[in-house]
Structure 1
Amino acid sequence: MLDRSRRVLLGWALACLAGFGVLALGVSQGWVWLAEIDDEGQGLRDWALDDAGLGGFLRVVEEVFHAQWVLLAMAATALLMLSRGHRRAAVYTVGMAVAAFAGFRGLKILVDRERPPWQLTTSLHETESFPSGHATMVTALAMVVIVLVVMLVRRAVVRRLAVTLAALVVLVVCLDRVLLGRHYPSDAVGGVLLGVGLGLLGLVVYSPLPRSHALKIDPLPEAIPSAKRLAVVLNPIKVEDVEAFQSIVDQMATGAGWSAPRWHLTTVEDSGTGQAERASIEGADLVIVCGGDGTVREVCAELAGTGIPVGIVPAGTGNLLARNLGIPLYIRAALDIALTGQDRAIDMVSVRGDRGEPEAEDHGEPAPGGFESHFLVMAGMGFDAAIMEGVNEDLKKRVGWIAYVVSALKSLMSPVVKVEVSIDGGEYTKHRARTIVVGNVGSLQAGMPLLPDASIDDGQLDVVLIYPRRFLSWIPVAFRVLAKRRRTDDTVNRMTGRTVSIRAGADTPRQLDGDSIGPGRELHMECIHGRLLVRVPR
């Protein structure tokens, strides 16, 4: 809907408003066929209140969806959008609230239709009847919800569910108005047509889609003139409609002054390395990668040290690198930053260890008896790696991050690991832990500030060892982490260094940037300062 041209949206809006106008004319002129349909409302009212006993439920619906509460919900939605940085979406929401409320109030006075004589007598409504204020306001709210869901939610299942629920709520409210005898059927239909028409007209007048964050900022100086050659590495399974995504990128790239992008799609056999290499050989001045953390990691690793900046369009479940760089998860906003943002040099971490499961070989050329790889966000051993290892992929596709919660609950009391840790080549110290995380950034899954002092461009690695002795001990541990308490002890121990080596006493689950690399006993990591250029907001 949001990608439709203004001409198409205007046509839809005018069709709805024209239908409303015809209905209003019929009500004013007392058309016989319309009056006959409206008179059926009395039979429906008698059935609902006398035979079906729906009175209590209908009164609850009436009160919950009163115009004042709908206005309050729309105001709360606008504030939420504003807090998330979606200023135009907030303005659209406020505009819809004002237009819908003023519209139905003004049109009631203009048409001046009396309420049905058979309405519920316990609390008569004496204001004008056409159009239904309840129907207009709840439809306006449903339009806002649908627009925001289409704009911000990527999962088709969630979008369809939200749209279906919004339409169902509108239907229930319309039936409520007729079954209580508050309105004629034409009043409810008129309210829906008015709400939909105003919502579509609002999209024509003021698009809620964000504008370029660099629109009012001076262009960045270029030390070397760029040919504006653009390449895009896309994991096709991470977007619902590849052609639609390509169309959006083509349109935005042209508008930002870039050449038509050259497209490189990942495969099961090559998750980004070969595609990034080809983009580099072809002379790309910017490579945009769209995919999950694994795809982003492979592309970034291949382009590290080349001087070619990487624009990240997060399309996975965790999107940890994007979150820590301040890159929004909304596709258009992320594309805008990739095309018009500024370059930032960030650290990369090389890692080697003993050979784990066979998939470890996919992350780099294995060393004799071991493997070599890299990460941008974090490495882990123990509980956090067990979470990644235990995620049900089918469940992950259906419900997203909830699959990690399910896996975490299963792995909560993972075995205690005896480990030895060496920082910057120093002597190994002995510890006990349920999980060990080595991070290049401060916030991990769900925005948890596990490493509050970590920075992705300081040339240092931050380590945390967590050792809750019992199940309930996780509660104070979680409190300390969320409160960013820096005190260290046997329960939460922190270390910092450019190189970190970890040796476990037994085979332990391991992960790099959220990808399981199989169990093993060793990880040796070195932070390479300023190795990669990425596009970030100005």
Structure 2
Amino acid sequence: MSTRTKIRFIINPTSGTSSRVDVEARIQEHLDRRKYDHSVVFTERAGHAPELARAAAGEGVEIVVAVGGDGTMNEVARGLLHTETALAILPKGSGNGLARHLGIPMGLEGALRVINKGKTTTIDSGQINGHPFFTTAGIGFDAYISSVFAGNKKRGLQTYVELVMKEVRNYRHLPVIASINGNTLDTDCFVMAFANAAQYGNNAYIAPAADIRDGLLDVCLVRRLDLVKALNLSYCMLTKQLANADSAEYFKTERVTVEAEEEMMYHADGEYLGKASEFEVKMLPLSLKVLVP
């Protein structure tokens, strides 16, 4: 009877530029097969990865590896929430926010070395209107950019920044009523970001002080944003600094509710989810096991 740990790789064949054969070949070459009994499955459609992850957990697979970008990571992690099965990540996307926050190397060989060590910890996750997220969620401008970015053929940080600079002048703030730490905030809202991890991805830090294990959301509120403030906020994000008070406000809380006069766009882990006029955002403390360096 084998005493090797069961590990399953869930590969999104549309993520990144490496071919399916290349990823499988690197797994075969660099995975410690004395330690692991591995299997590989491929996603066939959006929403398939949570099904595959839940099935793996139900079969007693101890580690499930998301091979893809933040969208794939989110789907696999959703399928593993509140289970004993740990998430591992082979990053192949354009942002790779959770992998970067956890210190997982961006190269497949380096990420496989992390898996070979098999060090596990438990992290928080969040929910926005019932939809889980693991790095960030948000309403307003960042969700709008997510919707535009999703349809853009070019990926990466430069494309993201170019879109922000192009669209910032055309997007208008909206009035909202937010409840944070028992206080009611009647405010304008250009963007409200809810961070479990420190960054969106690509080392763009929306909440540099975020701790993925403290049970708290780091909320970044931008009331109004002009081009000057956008440049300041972008600079701070890229240099891992808190923006000045004129550009953004920060809060730590377990739960946020927001009511908007008009429907606003929202996202989870960079995936555009649609529009709503009411939002409930909350933490799920220590709800996901992950492999870390």
Tell me the residue number matched to 1:305: 82
Alignment equivalent of 1:516, drawn from 249, 272, 275: 272
8 A Cα contact 2:8 2:61, kept in partner: yes
1:83-482 to structure 2, matched below 5 A, reads 227-238=4-15, 240-255=18-33, 257-259=35-37, 261-352=38-129, 372-391=130-149, 393=151, 395-396=153-154, 400-413=156-169, 414-424=171-181, 426-479=182-235, 482=239
1:452 offset after TM fit, Å?
2.0
The worse-fitting range, judged by mean Cα deviation, of 290-299 and 477-486 is: 477-486
Alpha-carbon distance in structure 2 between the residues aligned to 1:244 and 1:469: 44
Partner secondary structure for residue 274 of structure 1: helix
The aligned amino acid for 2:7 is L
TM-score when scaled to structure 2? 0.90
1:459 offset after TM fit, Å?
0.5
1:468 offset after TM fit, Å?
4.2
Task: Pick the structure with more strand per residue.
Answer: 2
1:443 offset after TM fit, Å?
2.4
Alpha-carbon distance in structure 2 between the residues aligned to 1:350 and 1:392: 21
Q: Residue deviations 1:173-227, cap 9 Å, x none?
A: xxxxxxxxxxxxxxxxxxxxxxxxxxxxxxxxxxxxxxxxxxxxxxxxxxxx964
Alpha-carbon distance in structure 2 between the residues aligned to 1:382 and 1:452: 20
Alpha-carbon distance in structure 2 between the residues aligned to 1:525 and 1:388: 18
Q: Residue deviations 1:306-325, cap 9 Å, x none?
A: 11111101111111010100
8 A Cα contact 1:327 1:536, kept in partner: yes
Closer, same or farther in 2 for the Cα pair 1:486/1:258, shift >3 Å? same
Alpha-carbon distance in structure 1 between the residues aligned to 2:264 and 2:137: 13
8 A Cα contact 1:256 1:340, kept in partner: no
8 A Cα contact 1:395 1:403, kept in partner: no
Closer, same or farther in 2 for the Cα pair 1:432/1:286, shift >3 Å? same
Closer, same or farther in 2 for the Cα pair 1:438/1:263, shift >3 Å? same
Aligned-residue RMSD, C-alpha: 2.3
1:381 offset after TM fit, Å?
1.2
8 A Cα contact 1:256 1:339, kept in partner: no
Q: Residue deviations 1:484-511, cap 9 Å, x none?
A: 247646x411111111112222122211
8 A Cα contact 1:386 1:411, kept in partner: no
The aligned amino acid for 1:284 is V
8 A Cα contact 1:468 1:474, kept in partner: no
The worse-fitting range, judged by mean Cα deviation, of 269-278 and 513-522 is: 269-278
Is there any run of 5+ residues in structure 2 with no aligned partner, and where?
none
Tell me the residue number matched to 1:20: none
Is there any run of 5+ residues in structure 1 with no aligned partner, and where?
1-224, 353-371
8 A Cα contact 2:122 2:287, kept in partner: yes
Tell me the residue number matched to 1:500: 256
Alpha-carbon distance in structure 2 between the residues aligned to 1:473 and 1:410: 14
Task: Pick the structure with more helix per residue.
Answer: 1
8 A Cα contact 2:124 2:287, kept in partner: yes
8 A Cα contact 2:78 2:132, kept in partner: yes
- Higher RCO, 1 vs 2 (CA within 8 Å, ≥6 residues apart): 2
Q: Residue deviations 1:56-86, cap 9 Å, x none?
A: xxxxxxxxxxxxxxxxxxxxxxxxxxxxxxx
Alpha-carbon distance in structure 2 between the residues aligned to 1:343 and 1:430: 42
Alpha-carbon distance in structure 2 between the residues aligned to 1:256 and 1:418: 58
Closer, same or farther in 2 for the Cα pair 1:254/1:472, shift >3 Å? closer
Aligned length: 289
Q: Which has the larger radius of gyration?
A: 1
The aligned amino acid for 1:247 is A
Q: Residue deviations 1:343-385, cap 9 Å, x none?
A: 0100011221xxxxxxxxxxxxxxxxxxx31100111111111
8 A Cα contact 1:507 1:520, kept in partner: yes
